Structure 1
Amino acid sequence: MPHLRIEYSTNIAARFDGAAVAQAGCDALLSSGVFNPPDSIKVRLVPVEHFRVGSGADHGFLHADLGMLSGRDTATKLRVTDALVRAIAPLVQPGPQVVQVTADARDMDRDCYSKRLIPGA
């Protein structure tokens, strides 16, 4: 735990390295000191082909959606989401579209979260 899902609009996919964005997101979570053990962090990038931004302008986005077990205060969530935006935004190269880089943290109900570790070979 936590789960970091970074959605991005496909119109800007050539403007960043997906592996670098995943690594930056993971590093931001690791350096926050909020999550332990380190291997509990899961990061995934998800392309969004069909989307619309407000007026229909050709804007792009990267949105980091952080799901974490409930119980953390607002200040902690804000510190982590701010760190995510600061880590990801510099990785987007210049291009023709405006790009919105955003992050949000949501609580996952601690009482309902299930997990099982399956050992590797």
Structure 2
Amino acid sequence: MPHLRIEYSENMAGRFDGAGLAQAACDALLSSGVFNPPDSIKVRLIPVQHFRVGSGADHGFVHAELAMLSGRDKPTKQRLTEALVLAMSGLIGPGGQIVQITADAHDMDREVYAKRLLPVA
């Protein structure tokens, strides 16, 4: 916890470095002071091959979906999503289409979330 899934349209290929984007998003969460220990943060990038913008325009997107254990207030969630959008925006290079960069945060129910750490062999 937390889990950060960053989906992006495949037409964004070449406009950002995936490892750099994952690092910047992780750094944004770490610098918030909300999550501890640092290794609790998991970030993954997921390319989306098939997508459509309502008008059919050739827009690109990067969307971060932050799932975290319940109990944080809305101002904290807003601060986190704004930090993610800012961090990701700075890493998108120029290209031939408009890019929508968005983030959302939602709660995972503490009563049903399960986790198990396996020791090193």
TM range (shorter): over 0.9
Alignment partner, residue 66 of structure 1 = 66
Amino acid aligned to 2:98: V
Q: Shift of the alpha carbon at 1:50?
A: 0.3
Identical residues among aligned pairs (%): 74
Amino acid aligned to 2:58: D
Q: RMSD over aligned Cα, in angstroms?
A: 0.5
TM-score (norm 2): 0.98
* Unmatched tracts of structure 2, length 5 or more: none
Instruction: State the aligned residue count.
Output: 121
Determine helix, strand or coil for the equivalent of 2:61: strand
The structure with the greater share of residues assigned to helix is 1
Amino acid aligned to 1:63: H
Kindly provide the CA deviation profile for residues 35-91 of structure 1, in whole angstroms up to 9, marking residues without a partner as x: 010000000000000000110100000000000000000000000000000000010
TM-score (norm 1): 0.98
* Unmatched tracts of structure 1, length 5 or more: none
Determine helix, strand or coil for the equivalent of 2:90: helix
Amino acid aligned to 2:119: P
Alignment partner, residue 31 of structure 2 = 31
Amino acid aligned to 2:66: L
